[in-house]
Amino acid sequence: MRYRPDPSTRLLPDGRTLIGGSPLRLFRLTAGGGRWFQSLVGGEDLDVPGPRGPEGSAGVGGALLRRLLDAGVVHPDPRSGPVDQVAGGAPPACTVVVPVRDRPEQLASLLESIDRAGGVAEVVVVDDGSLDAAAHEQVAERFGASYLRLERSRGPAAARDAGIRLAGHEVVVLVDSDVVVTVGWLEPLLAHLADPVVAAVAARVRTAADPAGSGRLAGYESRRSPLDLGDVPAPVAAGTRVAYVPAAALLLRRAAYLDVGGFDVELRFGEDVDLEWRLADRGWTVRYEPASVVFHPPRPDVGKWLRQRFEYGTAAAALDRRHPGSVAPWRASRWSLLVWLLVLAGHPGAALLVAGGTGAALARRLDDLPASEAVAMVGRGHLAAGRSLAGALVRTWWPLVLVGSCCSRRIRRAGALALVVAVLDRSRSAGAGGSPTDLPLGVLDDVAYGAGVWWGCVRHRRWGPLVPTLDP
């Protein structure tokens, strides 16, 4: 297997100081470790490290590689690892599980795309109480898929769980019924199973072209869909750049799934996030692999789109009950909080002094690191915290900002500044493909999601999703 560095990763000129990952970390390497890292990212083929712990690591290189993988400093390149090395010389057979409810046409499109792509040993369709069961069963039979019907709708978590337990293979791939897979989508996911600690791998879920040609909402979804996590691979963990992955196209080791008790079938939303975090808590790894691509249609109209965003937000309180502190709207250091409180209070000079002081303090603590590098690290950290704070103000805390703006000019200015920063941040991430309609749609997106968060907190009497997490 070959490995590639994350875009955040840098080996400093001394050849021994490595910076990268999410959250950003600093690694001290020996001279030999620095040379080993350069050969690693230079394209050298290496064995996948064993399980965590001294007994599973192939020497110092294996232990270091495991640490770099877990931190998101480097990522496996699935295109360099033949799938036939995963399971004793033969590609692992897999079962695709498709939960469906009242979507016979979309189900047919999905199953046709799976047939066209090939490589799947078994398909199990789980009908979650559709009104027209016969139509779904006929589609499943047409494509040679097994069909299981739940007499009443119990939600996607229960439907997926029933399919996983019926699957005839140890590798299971969950695919939503309104998804269409692409040729070559499966191999990058399977390649990650060469790593014995990987329990789940998610594909990139892109927005399909709008067949009606209306364009605006579909265009926004193609740039800002919460299902599309971008083109950079990552380990998945709360508090990192990729905190969760959707189960729209998710490969699972069934043994790992059963090890943590499977989906929580009581959850109607956020059940995939809950499963992934429980896998991580148990010592398994979940990965995001954008080399595997599937397509998901945009919502047909703004009303259904806003309802989806609202429902996503309602999951935050239930997730906080199961994983306290993991869904905080903003996470930063106490020093970053002070810097941005000073900015919002109208004291930018004092904010610069505090930011400079934290940079100087880090330079003294890491006295063998160039002072300019320490200051740059701190500066990037404060700027990232500022962008994240702006996002929290306009997305989760907007009701507080709205109420406060009625009473305080300073809060109005802070809200306006946060909105400008959030818009600029979105424009930067969208690149040249952005559209003027992204601004109003983005505001509606934030309002709907934030309203869902507040509704869920009130309903569950759980306020963690509204409280920031402050690191030392």
Q: Measuring CA to CA, which residue among 291, 266, 261, 289 is closest to residue 277?
A: 261
Query: Tell me: the pLDDT tens digits for 384-419?
Result: 999 999 999 999 999 999 999 999 998 998 899 888
Distance CA 288, CA 173 (A): 14
**pLDDT value at position 91?**
65
Lowest mean pLDDT among 16-25, 89-98, 141-150, 328-337: 89-98
Q: How is residue 211 annotated by DSSP?
A: T
- pLDDT over 70, % of the chain: 92
Q: Measuring CA to CA, which residue among 210, 252, 248 is closest to residue 226?
A: 248
Please report which confidence band the pLDDT of residue 55 belongs to, taking 50, 70 and 90 as the band edges: very low
Give the SS3 label for residue 1: coil
Alpha helix (H) ranges present in 230-347?
254-259, 271-281, 302-322, 334-344
For range 278-286, the mean pLDDT: 96
- Mean pLDDT, the chain, rounded, equals 90
